[in-house]
Each structure stands twice: as structure tokens, then as C-alpha cells.
Amino acid sequence: MATINATPKSSLSDEPLKIRVTGLKPSQLMTIQASLTDEKGVLFQARAFYWTDKKGQVDLTRDAAKGGDYSGVQPMGLFLFLKPEKPFSRLMKRDVINSPYEVHLDVFDSLQLVSPSQEQSLASQTVERWYTAPGVQRILVRHGRVRGALFLPAGKGPFPGVIDLFGGVGGLTEFRAGLLASRGFATLALAYFAYEDLPSVLGPIDLEYFEEAAEFLLKHPQVRGPRLGIVGICKGAEIALAMATYLPQIGATVCINGTNAIYGYPLYYRDLCIEPIPYKSECVLIIEQGVVSFFNLLEDPRAKLHQESILPVEKARGKILLIVGEGDGNYNSKAFATKIMERMKKLGRTHCALLSYPNAGHLIEPPGSPFCYQSWLPVVARPVLWGGEAQAHAAAQVHSWREIQKFLHLHLGPTQSSSL
């Protein structure tokens, strides 16, 4: 009798599973399929084709998939390569406290190019993938102008503090903050537009808003100072770099696929105003299936008239980690990061490091997030190209997530990590 055993049955979404199938015939061609339905009712699936060994078994930590949504030895391939049934959907957990993703694993005989009926399943199991560990608290934040959600780790604090910023998706995105809290960081998922009474659209950046958020976090009794960390992606990485440059409260900054200058909208901080490099909207490309590519939207900051828009990152008091997907279809992220590193070297500064991943795309997220090549972006009401190659991107997420935690531990102090 066929069985599938995935352990642990309940885990954090960034933790690897061990998946093993037994009870089949020797040298039998079989299909393993993973399925989950997100909070919007969209079905995501991945399947892979394997030959059993002489004992009628398949071990995903050992055996290579011959085809399907991925190939080769990919212990977590069924999760990393989940694809949406509805085009341009992106898997992004919203309720990170009260419910996990339930992932259904099924074994089918032979090669199944399309999803078979459940009745044809030879063996099945359901696993839970959580975004917060037991004991993690979520506290909704409405403090002064600051809007967001604070995630406090389980156990006795105080804990190192981190501010988590996303980009053009807007609203309040919490899944990475929940995972960071599960790894011992008191993390503020910070909204800055398209949420509650904040501006409805992205516009001028008031850095004092972000300083207010930093002060709020540092004053919390469960947060250990004297400095904070920041993790930002896309526009959030641009803001994170500005915070690192100008705010004394920042000790460790992670910028994922960001820029080296202020783009699109001016940045204000006290008596400082940085005029932006204008977006080149006429250079936006509309490619297959109406997908928009913003790769040429951002003008080269090296032009003389743009020098005042470049962030003087050498002024940063803390450490900076730049993370780049060289296959980013949204930004020329490698070029921006290279310019930052060249500026630092020229000025004799050594507090900046670069992790660059060949063929990884824009949305480098924790390992529980499947590769997303393109997805719908509400602020432009069009699908947007994020780029990357699936297997390289998946590997980049696993490695960078580990390096982000090491970097924050090193520069903010030790934590107490949790698991299910």
C-alpha cells in the first residue's frame, strides 16, 4: 500500500520538510502533487515526476525529479515551484497569526500532466505551513502617524528590533515580519501608503514618518536598543537606504533589489529635500499577455543633473547588506548595488556588503514563498514582470534568508529562535 510521509506535519513556512513515498512497485513512474488554496480562493499547484527505486520508494532529499514543474534533486521543490491556476496571482499570506496554509500532498500512478481527480490518489497527506511560531504576538499599531503591525517573539525579551518594508504593493504586508519574529526579532511591519488613513497612493517620502516609527519601536519595553535593523525590498529598499543614511537609530540595513538614489518622488527630512530622478514613463514596455516591464523606467543616476539625488550612503552609521537578483526584471538592481559598492570603496568605507545571485528575480523573499515571475500589481492595475529563473531564484531565497538572519544577529545582537 502506497504511503506518503512528510515531516514535520506542522512547521514554519521557511523550514524544510522531508518527503518520502513508500509502498509502490520497483521502478514505477509516479507523480507527486502539492496543492493549496490561498485566502482569496486561488488554487496553487506543483507536480513532479519520479521513478521509484528498487524498493518502490522515493525520497525527495535524495532522488531527482525527472520533470514536471522542476527537475533534479529539490527536497522542497513542491513548495518552491507552486504555480497559480489564476494567471498573475501571487501567493502572499495575509492572516499570519490565526491560520496556516494547508498544503495537500498526493501521489498518483504514472505521469500526470494535468491535475488528476482526488479519487485517483494512491496516497495523500496534508501539512501545515505557518508564518508565526507559537507564542508570537501580533499587536496592531496606530501610534501617532505610525500604522502597522508589531510582531513580538515568544519568550522573555527584550529582543532586537527590526522594521520591515515592502514596495509598490502598498498596504500592510506581514508575512516576512511574522517569520522574523519567529526567529527572535521584534518586527514592525510598517505601512506607508494605501492603508487606513495613510496616503492612498505612493507619493513624496517623509522620512520623519519612518523616524517616528523607529522611535516608537525603540521605546517599546520588549525591544532592545540602542539601534534597529531594517529589511526592505523594491521601493522599501530605497527608503531603507535613506533611513540608514540619515537616521541615527539604524544599525543594520538589508536592501533587497533597491536603488542607490531617490526616484519618482521627493524625499523630505527636516530641512532636507532630495529632488527625485524622474521616472521615464515613456520607456515602460508592454510585453506578452499585457505584462508591464518597468526595467527601463529608472534613468541612470550617473548623469550630472542627477548627482544630488544619489543617497550619500557613506554617512550611514550602521552596516548595510545589499541583496541582488541579477535576473531582476523590474529594476537593474545589480547596476544600482554596484554603484553603491564603488562609491563606498572610493570613499574608503567598509560597512557595506553585497550578495548577488545570478538568474534570481526581483521578489527575493523567505523560502516559503514560491517563485513568482510576474503578478498583478494593484497600484498600476496591470501584471508586472519580476523576472528570474525558477531554480536559481529558489536557491537565492534559501541562501539569502539565512544570510539576512546572520547579518541581523551579528549587528543587533543574539536572539531566541522558535519553531513549531
CA-atom Rg of the chain in angstroms: 22
| Dihedral sign computed on CA atoms, order 355, 361, 362, 366 | negative
Burial 387-396, CB ≥16 within 10 A → b, else e: bbbbbbbbbb
Calpha distance 15→159 (Å, rounded)? 22
Calpha distance 327→333 (Å, rounded)? 9
Calpha distance 152→170 (Å, rounded)? 23
7: its cell numbers: 515531516
Residue type, 44: F
* Phi, psi (deg, nearest 5) at residue 25: -75, 150
Residue type, 22: T
What percent of the residues of the chain are helix, what percent strand, and what percent coil, each to the nearest 5? 20, 35, 45
Residue 133 exposure: Cα atoms within 13 Å on the Cβ side: 19
Calpha distance 289→325 (Å, rounded)? 24
The residues that are catalytic are 234, 328, 362
Task: Measure Cα distances from 215 to 144, 207, 212 in Å.
Answer: 11, 12, 5
What order of strands is seen across the sheet that includes strand 374-377? 285-286, 292-293, 382-385, 374-377
Burial 95-132, CB ≥16 within 10 A → b, else e: ebeeebbebbbbbbbeebeebbeeeebbbbbebbbbbb
